[in-house]
Chain A
């Protein structure tokens, strides 16, 4: 136990503040925190659905939970069921074999039913496109609010996309 505590102490805090050189992200971060407080009971629950990805995108989504990004400190957390989710984070071209499952996850989600398409494949089909086995972009199957480019998107781009999704809904709510 002492060894564990010792290691934890020596490691210290590695979590990074949102890069300050990126003013836009900073502003987004603050407004989204407020937005989450107002609209989502201080937190945003995300259900991740791999609709046919190569698993590269998942690795970077996993990275969001490591100590460097520690996405939970922004009030964003991943949940185990679409029934608990404010947003779906969908990766991959939607394989035809996952089409029905993705639609069911979407239907099961309560409103506001945000959908974030993460990665090149989710945005436009990527290297796989549309074929007998692939529906291509997520938007070909369910409505998408925010598309996050990158193959795979870096954790920072993913964070931007998630924050933008929450922010986008706030803008519509104000009107």
Chain B
């Protein structure tokens, strides 16, 4: 999963996994057609769904995603597993009349929330799931309705107003001196809404339970019927801080489904914007971590650099956050020679500024005091939770798609991936500081390698086709599934934001910390609410 620099042999491990499945009498149906390449689809029977996961867990695969799809009078379920940079997609079918499937959660903790999401939105019952509570559903629709079923109208039933979420069974700790602290959905700062339920003794947190779903906007439902351009606009707004990442992943899925070749120049420009997004978010968050522990200097300086960076985005790319710059078939922007020179100069300036600032952050006793050992996520826990992105890389999980499953144009560059196992807030900050420098170097190489030519090819959406897009956003791996219907319009869209895998780490890493350190711990993982709630 990490480390190798020699050319890897894809799917070298797959025969072993298939053999173990055979040993367990799991029948894998013939799959000569591979609709989700480069991922491999394994079609299995519904009753083997749990066994396939159990074998995968034994083989050390990472569980990455699951989603359902209502086709005809059946529900098609898919789950994505990864190891050594290769993805397999398990696929099975259950009848609409009896939508029951063994759960993956007993084998993979990461499956918990996504299965409950599928339960709430599609009405699939997962057998042996340790937690049958609703997850994304609050009280906007009754449990008898399933928004992702085709019979469900996107407008829903008219309801004068939606009552607040209530009767969700939070787990409680009994005992003398244990207090319960409820926070949210509206928080004190300028952040997204979510609910946190702490059980604490004095200042110390014994247990945290997160309750999300507040920003659920029905993205999967309102994607249906869109054309590629409209889907890209929606994908750009799944999580605003990760707009390049999500749009790229959705476009990659569309392009794979429709066999559309993206021009070389556009690929480099996409990567350039993705790296710019990485730098902007890392700068902003490192500053915010400083301000959360009362080190205003870091916040002032880094938010200043971030603002400068965003102004350059506006000037050269036409949008401060780079929204809608990635479009199906290519990109909506181009750079001239002067712009390339300007960016090179910016990189030099930023490196010089950061050398001073990061040096101060590195060696500031009062920061060390607050950040070291705070919010510790053990590598074992990180692996069990299948966490990706910089949170994973600070806890010994080195996966990075850009290196491990290099999609164009990253296959042309060497991608160093920082890896630490300290697992605390300081380590997560350290990974992000490293990644800023790495991104700057990469961007310089990309600007030098920028080929000529067009920036967009026409994408003719295929009929009855599907595609899987996988990109490494600044937050981590995004897996975006798109199915086009017979009318060449979107029939199913599921963008799996990395936050699905990052949020569960919060409950782990906060235990034993003090309540006032919650904001800095939260900032240090910076999972998206919107990207998770969909």
Contact = CB atoms under 8 A, between A and B. Distances in A.
Interface residues of B, number: 63
Contact of B214 (A80, A101, A151): A101
Interface in A45-59: 48-59
B155 A58 contact: no
> Which among A60, A98, A130 has the highest number of chain B CB atoms within 10 Å?
A98
A117 B415 CA distance: 42
A145 to B, nearest CB: 20
Interface in A32-65: 48-63, 65
A53 B530 contact: yes
B239 A54 contact: yes
A18 interface: no
A18 B239 CA distance: 31
Contacts of B185: 98, 101
A132 B153 CA distance: 8
A154 B311 CA distance: 10
A54 B497 CA distance: 13
Interface stretch (B38-46, B52-60, B300-308, B406-414): B300-308
A97 B530 contact: no
B164 interface: yes
Contact of B147 (A48, A49, A81, A132): A132
Given A3-B359, A4-B297, A62-B190, A134 B164 contact: no
> Which among B139, B218, B240 has the highest number of chain A CB atoms within 10 Å?
B240
Given A66-B304, A97-B214, A56 B240 contact: yes
B360 A95 contact: no
A149 interface: no
B56 to A, nearest CB: 33
Contact of B222 (A3, A11, A57, A129): A129
Interface of B is mostly: loop
Contacts of A107: none
A95 B237 contact: no
A155 to B, nearest CB: 8
A167 interface: no
Contacts of B301: 7, 11
Given A7-B356, A57-B240, A132-B147, A97 B528 contact: no
A92 B321 CA distance: 16
Contact of B320 (A61, A68, A103, A154): A154
Contact of A105 (B139, B186, B360): B186
B207 interface: no
A95 B217 contact: yes
Contacts of A65: 303
A132 B239 contact: no
A8 interface: yes
Nearest to A3: B360
Contact of A97 (B162, B186, B188, B284): B162
Contacts of A95: 214-217, 533
Contacts of A30: none
Contacts of B156: 131-133
A55 B357 contact: no
A4 B360 contact: yes
Interface of A: 3-4, 7-8, 11, 14, 48-63, 65-68, 78, 80-82, 92-93, 95-101, 103-105, 126-135, 151-152, 154
19 contacts: A3-B356, A7-B301, A57-B240, A62-B190, A63-B307, A68-B307, A80-B188, A80-B189, A81-B188, A92-B215, A93-B217, A97-B165, A100-B164, A131-B222, A132-B141, A132-B153, A132-B221, A133-B217, A135-B162
Shortest Cβ-Cβ A-B pairs, 8 listed: A56-B240, A132-B156, A133-B218, A80-B188, A100-B164, A96-B140, A54-B240, A66-B303
